[in-house]
Structure 1
Amino acid sequence: MAVTAKTEDRIGWITLDRPPANSYDRAFVEELGAAIDQLAEDDEARVVVVRSSSDKFFSAGADVKNFADGDPDTNNDMVRLAHRVFDRFAAIPKLSIAAINGHALGGGYEIALACDVRIAAEGRYRIGLPEVTLGLLPGTGGTQRLPRLIGRGRALLLMATGTSVTPDEAERLGMVDRLVPAEQLDEHVREVATTIAFGAPLAIAATKRAVHEGADRPLHEALQVELEQLAPLFASHDAREGMAAFLEKRRPDYEGR
């Protein structure tokens, strides 16, 4: 399989493994969707990490040969499928992290954009959305997610020129959220994921919903979303446990209820 999923120590790992560049076809996207669904339904997995088995590529995106050989209807159907699958990252209550260790280009970077957080390794590789150089546009979320992440002008300049950037520049622009030495990427991602995995799952899920549902609303509406997400937490076992643990100066034991 090109995409596999497993859970270890409350962390759900999705591994992209389609040599040489993790370029994806329809079967790959379907397997990615199944992996997301598997971890979404796995109560043991409290956080999801997307990583690559390659030491050079996170993902080079859609397989260009398949698009070149396909007819417009088939290609558009493939893109619609990718939209549905990538949207699953935002829809599930668990936080998703893209661990970028190599080239993340086109649809490959759009996978990372669909995740909640992007942690990247330092290195001599590129990140970007070069689809216009093929006479296309970033059609699996790039034209919408990148402007929301770094602003319209910067995103349009990158996408309209097809420019890819180094990891350092990607961090400066906000295309990735954190940059760490390459040899520390796995350990750092695991540490971050573990912190989330042993945190309060109801509170983390509510925080994610508040951010996603409020981000594009006027502030007064977004603040109401925040209140709606907070209200049921006060009645939860986890909130009582968290506050008791704070007062008793001990580590909380969250149960997700």
Structure 2
Amino acid sequence: MTTSYDTISTRLDGNVLSATFNAPPINLIGPEVVRDLVGLLEELSHPGAVRVVVFDSADPDFFFPHVDLTKVPEYTAEAAKGGGPGDASLGMLFHKLSQIPAVTIAKLRGRARGAGSEFLLACDMRFASRENAVLSQPEVGFGTSPGAGAIQHLTRLMGRGRALEAVLTSADFDAELAERYGWINRAVPDAELDEFVVGIAARMGGFPRDALIAAKTAINAIGLPTPANVRADAALFQQLVRGEGAQHRAAELFEQGFQTRGRTELDLSEALGDLKAVD
């Protein structure tokens, strides 16, 4: 890799690239993270030495908690640079992540909610700390719907009923339940997670590139949503997130310390459940 990034640190070990997100104070997905991700995916879109990419977070409490709701237009504008003005959405940027000519692994500790979960879903594989991982799609609790891939991926991975449960309840899933439902590949004891991911990444990194990418491409042709479906979900999110209901509920959460390292963000599922019901 030749480029340095403000919110992503990279380290190349043979054919395996480690990419660690670090965007204090809590790793919100904002314009800076999206700008760096666009740049990294552009580099990874060109076949080179990297065969496997492992994504993780420098923050033990937050992988990605969700998008920065105060900067939706700004991060959307950055996302457009990854796919053009017609594809100005995180959903299409994450769709590009799913298609890069390298195997992508997400190593999860902490919370991955909303677009954070959708980033993980766009990766080829997800391995999570059994004791220290939380996944959630909280959008319906805010008054909108997932717009960056969750509807497409979770329905394929879980089936209709479980996808509806995950999306409509806006509840937190621990790693063991997420594994049982198919949200992640495996829940691994925290003390073993690093070694496990290093081992599986190194194993695949030693295999022929052409075979890895050919197999990934064939599976993608069966398992990935179409761009039209991704765009439709993104458009619905953009419409609903600007609505009165979503704005009202977000304002209540901000009064409680939302988007800071406090109880509201740590226990977001509970905070959403406590909000006043609105039509």
Alignment TM-score, normalising by the size of structure 1: 0.76
Q: Distance in 2 between matches of 1:75 and 1:42?
A: 24
Are the counterparts in 2 of residues 62 and 107 from structure 1 also a CA contact under 8 Å? yes
Q: Residue in 1 aligned with 2:258?
A: none
**Any gaps of 5 or more consecutive residues in structure 2?**
1-5, 82-86, 226-279
Structure 1 residue 194 and structure 2 residue 199: aligned? no
Identify which of 127, 138, 161 aligns with 1:130: 138
Distance in 1 between the 2:162 and 2:22 partners? 31
- Partner SS state of residue 9, structure 2: strand
Contact 1:127/1:165 (CA < 8 Å) preserved in 2? yes
For residues 203 and 77 of structure 1, the distance between their equivalents in structure 2, rounded to whole angstroms, comes to 31
1:40-79 matches, within 5 Å, as 40-41=45-46, 43-67=48-72
1:120 correspondence with 2:128: yes
Instruction: Specify which structure has the bigger relative contact order, considering alpha-carbon pairs within 8 angstroms and separated by 6 or more residues.
Output: 2
Determine if contact 1:33/1:88 at 8 Å carries over to the other structure. Answer: no
Residues matched between the structures, number: 214
The DSSP-based 3-state class of the residue aligned with 1:122 is strand
Amino acid at match of 1:16: F
Report the CA distance between 1:81 and its aligned residue.
3.3
Larger radius of gyration: 1
For residue 238 of structure 1, what is the aligned residue in structure 2?
none
Structure 1, residues 7-51: CA drift from partner, whole Å, max 9, x if none? 222111221111232111122112112112223436221111111
Shift of 1:125: 4.0
* C-alpha contact (below 8 Å) 1:5/1:39 kept by paired residues: no
Pick which of 188-197 and 83-92 moved more.
83-92
Letter in 2 for 1:3: I
Unpaired runs of 5+ residues, structure 1, are 218-257
Shift of 1:75: 11
> How far is the alpha carbon of 1:6 from its aligned partner?
3.5
Q: Which residue does 2:24 correspond to in 1?
A: 19
Q: 1:35 aligns with which of 16, 32, 40?
A: 40
AA paired with 1:83?
G
CA contact (8 A) 2:38 2:79 kept: no
Change (3 A) 1:155 1:77: same
Partner of 1:126: helix, strand, or coil?
strand
Name the stretch that deviates more: 163-172 or 5-14. Answer: 5-14
Question: Distance between the aligned counterparts of 1:134 and 1:174, measured in 2?
Answer: 24
Give the whole-Å Cα distance in 1 for the aligned partners of 2:224 and 2:118.
Answer: 19
1:146 counterpart residue number: 154
**Is residue 81 from structure 1 mapped to residue 86 from structure 2 by the alignment?**
no
Q: 2:7 aligns with which of 2, 15, 28?
A: 2
Letter in 1 for 2:128: A
Identity of aligned residues (%): 30
CA gap of 1:116–1:57, structure 2 versus 1, over 3 A, is same
CA RMSD for the aligned pairs? Answer: 2.5
Shift of 1:214: 2.6
In 2, are the aligned partners of 1:89 and 1:116 still within 8 Å (CA)? Answer: no
User: CA 1:76–1:210 in structure 2 vs 1: closer, same or farther (change >3 Å)?
Assistant: closer
Native 8 Å contact 2:114 2:139 kept in 1: yes
Structural mapping, 1:102-117, within 5 Å: 102-117=110-125
